Amino acid sequence: MTEKPVPVVRATLTDVARAAGVSRQTASRVARGGENVNARTAARVRRAIKALGYRPDPIARALSIGRGLSVGLLTHQLTDRQMGLGAISIMIGVEQAATELGLGVSVATFATFDRATVQDGIDRLARAGCDGVIFMAPWVSAVKTLRAIDTSLPMVSTSDVPDYDGPAVHADAAQAAGDVVDHLLSLGHETVHHVAGPLDWISSQRRLVGWESALRRAGVAVPEPLAGDWTAGSGYTAGRQLAQDPSVTAIFTANDEMALGVVYALNEAGRQVPEDVSVAGFDDAPGSDFFRPPLTTVRVDDAEYGREAVAQLMLQINGDAASPATILPHQLIIRASTASSPRRVRKAAGRQRSR
């Protein structure tokens, strides 16, 4: 059963004004840090802001004063075969969100995430008139580079960079991976095997951590993970190896493209999905619902991803404080590629026959 997206509901200034018992104009002045508001009234408004979790819409604020804005998107080269559909989706989401809001967008790409290359990309975006930069820093080495960057431009990361103070916008990949594992274990599988992405990618490591942590919490065996490179070909290679082990009944891959290769290899070896082996992916890539069978996976709303990244950047551009980390909600999308373990099915059939 496919879960319906849950809309993100944001408190408005009208909500704040109603809660504080003041006019919307007064609530707006306090939210902007304006003066000429009675101290007791201002305190009441600030309490309402905190209680409701109100955040000003920096994009609307910037546009309302007629300022032309331009954002830069710094990303790894699009020709990289190992980039992964998830990363491409994030980039598209950022571009769409900015464009739909009337913001100019400039893109600079880099082949490696060393300091000189990234500094050059940021400098190019600054020369192009960008007011701030959204950067995709997928590699584990990103934190060292980011600390060495010299720029006055506001920046936002779309990656969960270890030991980076942010601002950053990302999903909780470890929790999402754990949700996949919990789902598979709930179907009676004794453990879950994992095909990881490249281990120099942050997202690969976070999904690997979530997979292993969920297995350890459940007190089940933790198999040796297999390394892939985001491509269907690497999933196929891993799938051929896993297909030879009759004890393998559940596989979680770090993205949907590798899951496609795994399913192909299993079918080629005569092992059916999900009757013999359940397979789950990550990213809800376009077409994953048309896999054979449709793929159980994890979805993060790309449009919300883009809007949050742009919003956090605009907060800084407007001189406001951005959140160190904005964690986006994820959804476990359950489709036909996962089912009860063969052992559980056999037990159920035996009970039925004995009646």
User: Each residue of 209-218: b (16+ CB within 10 Å) or e?
Assistant: ebbbbbbeeb
Cis geometry, peptide bond prior to residue 5 (ω within 30 degrees of 0):
no
Task: Kindly report the pTM of this predicted structure.
Answer: 0.79
Strands 132-135 and 278-280: unpaired
| In the predicted structure, residue 204 carries a pLDDT above the cut 70 | yes
| In the predicted structure, residue 63 carries a pLDDT above the cut 70 | no
Calculate Rg over the CA atoms of the chain: 24
- Report pLDDT for 25: 74
DSSP per residue, 226-292: EE--SSHHHHHHHHHHHHT-TT--EEEESSHHHHHHHHHHHHHTT--TTTT-EEE-SS--TTGGGSS
d(CA 140, CA 202): 5
- Report pLDDT for 83: 55
Taking only the tens place, the pLDDT of each residue in 117-126 is: 889 999 999 9
d(CA 127, CA 183): 49
Question: Of the ranges 86-95, 149-158, 176-185, 245-254, which one carries the lowest mean pLDDT score?
Answer: 86-95
Asked, colleague to colleague, whether 66-172+305-329 and 173-300+334-349 share their fold, the answer is yes
Of the candidates 122, 124, 184, the one whose C-alpha atom is nearest the C-alpha of residue 154 is: 122
Residue 6: pLDDT band (50, 70, 90) is: very low
d(CA 92, CA 100): 12
- Report pLDDT for 353: 64
- Report pLDDT for 335: 98
Arithmetic mean of pLDDT over the chain: 86
Fold for 173-300+334-349, please state it: Rossmann fold (3.40.50)
- Report pLDDT for 243: 98
Strands 278-280 and 250-253: parallel
List the domain boundaries for the chain: 13-54, 66-172+305-329, 173-300+334-349
- Report pLDDT for 84: 54
d(CA 153, CA 317): 8
Question: Of the ranges 35-39, 61-65, 187-191, 301-305, which one carries the lowest mean pLDDT score?
Answer: 61-65
d(CA 39, CA 22): 13
Question: Of the ranges 34-48, 77-91, 100-114, 162-176, which one carries the lowest mean pLDDT score?
Answer: 77-91
Fold for 66-172+305-329, please state it: Rossmann fold (3.40.50)
| In the predicted structure, residue 195 carries a pLDDT above the cut 60 | yes
Cis geometry, peptide bond prior to residue 293 (ω within 30 degrees of 0):
yes
Taking only the tens place, the pLDDT of each residue in 260-276 is: 999 999 999 999 999 99
Of the candidates 92, 96, 93, 98, the one whose C-alpha atom is nearest the C-alpha of residue 71 is: 98
Average pLDDT over residues 334-344: 94
| In the predicted structure, residue 281 carries a pLDDT above the cut 90 | yes
Question: Of the ranges 15-19, 26-30, 42-46, 307-311, which one carries the lowest mean pLDDT score?
Answer: 26-30
Give the residue carrying structure tokens 């359950």. 334
Of the candidates 162, 232, 228, the one whose C-alpha atom is nearest the C-alpha of residue 195 is: 228
Contact status, residue 107 vs residue 72, Cβ threshold 8 Å:
yes
